[in-house]
């Protein structure tokens, strides 16, 4: 009897030890993978053109890297393929490489915003895009009853769908490409002529005026000289005749 009790006790201890060792050596649950910015767009479909621009301009990789370190997060507005198809023909191809980078960055805000946040932000909201003077391009938001519109000053569209909305990243679908107003501002007026140019032009004008003014005076002098010569010939002939008669 005692022997059976001891055996049961030993077996119980042995099973406990096995369970403890197994728990210590079992692998920990694998951590969730890193947030894949472009992967979210690719998974949702209909963002082929935007993904291409993110890759060509390297903005996609920059955002992906900064997602690992940012404390503010990012908000991205993703135009659909139809949004690009509805653009004026040649508009995108007419942009130089720097303008294409600015266009893509214009769809990225360096801060995480929920749709509710966007209803109450102070406009304009700074984007990642900047002009040649270093000034940031902004977007304006208006909203009511959880419906939010975004405007660039050139186009305005509704924010229809939250593709991803968990800090540090929010991605929203838009049905129009957000075009910066700065892309369509009238070019600056032609530069005024330099003082040296004005001076040269003024000298030329004065020279022409002097030539024109001297013309009549020279003609008058020539006429006067001709009249004097004529009077002298008449007077000489008269004196000769008087001498012949005498």
Q: What is the pLDDT of residue 145?
A: 82
Cα-to-chain-centroid distance, residue 173: 20
**Rounded to two decimals, what is the model's pTM?**
0.65
Q: What is the pLDDT of residue 186?
A: 52
Strands of the sheet containing 108-109, edge to edge, are: 108-109, 74-79, 169-174, 156-166, 147-151, 136-144, 125-130
Which has the closest alpha carbon to 125: 102, 146, 145, 142?
Answer: 142
Q: In a structure prediction context, what are the per-residue pLDDT tens digits for the chain, which is 246 residues long? A: 445 544 555 445 445 445 554 444 444 443 456 799 999 999 999 999 999 999 999 999 999 999 999 999 999 999 999 999 999 999 999 999 999 999 999 999 999 999 999 999 999 999 999 988 889 999 999 998 879 999 999 999 999 899 999 999 999 999 999 999 998 875 444 444 444 444 444 544 454 544 444 444 444 444 444 444 444 444 444 444 344 334
User: What CA–CA distance (Å, rounded) separates 163 from 170?
Assistant: 8
Could you give the C-alpha distances from 159 to 3, 79, 97, 102, in angstroms and in order? 77, 10, 27, 21
Q: What is the pLDDT of residue 221?
A: 47
Question: End-to-end alpha-carbon separation of the chain, Å?
Answer: 197
User: What CA–CA distance (Å, rounded) separates 167 from 32?
Assistant: 15
User: What CA–CA distance (Å, rounded) separates 190 from 214?
Assistant: 37
Q: What is the pLDDT of residue 33?
A: 66
Q: What is the pLDDT of residue 117?
A: 95
Q: What is the pLDDT of residue 3?
A: 53
């Amino acid at each position: 009897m005692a022997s059976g009790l001891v055996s049961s006790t030993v077996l119980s201890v042995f099973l406990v030890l096995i369970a403890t060792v197994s728990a210590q050596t079992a692998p920990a649950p694998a951590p969730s993978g890193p947030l894949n910015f472009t992967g979210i767009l690719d998974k949702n479909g209909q963002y082929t053109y935007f993904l291409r621009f993110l890759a060509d301009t390297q903005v996609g990789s920059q955002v992906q890297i900064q997602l690992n370190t940012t404390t503010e997060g990012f908000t991205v507005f993703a135009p659909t393929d139809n949004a690009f198809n509805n653009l004026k023909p040649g508009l995108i191809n007419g942009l130089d490489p720097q303008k294409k980078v600015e266009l893509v960055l214009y769809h990225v805000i360096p801060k995480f915003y929920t749709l509710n946040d966007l209803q109450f932000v102070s406009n304009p909201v700074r984007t990642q895009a900047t002009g040649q003077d270093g000034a940031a391009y902004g977007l304006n938001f208006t909203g009511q009853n959880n419906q939010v519109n975004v405007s660039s000053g050139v186009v305005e569209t509704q924010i229809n769908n939250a593709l991803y909305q968990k800090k540090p990243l929010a991605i929203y679908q838009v049905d129009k490409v957000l075009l910066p107003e700065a892309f369509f501002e009238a070019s600056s007026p032609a530069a005024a002529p330099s003082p040296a140019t004005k001076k040269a032009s003024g000298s030329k004008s004065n020279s022409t005026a002097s030539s024109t003014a001297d013309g009549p005076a020279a003609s008058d002098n020539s006429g006067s000289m001709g009249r004097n010569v004529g009077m002298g010939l008449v007077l000489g002939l008269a004196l000769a005749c008087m001498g012949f008669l005498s």
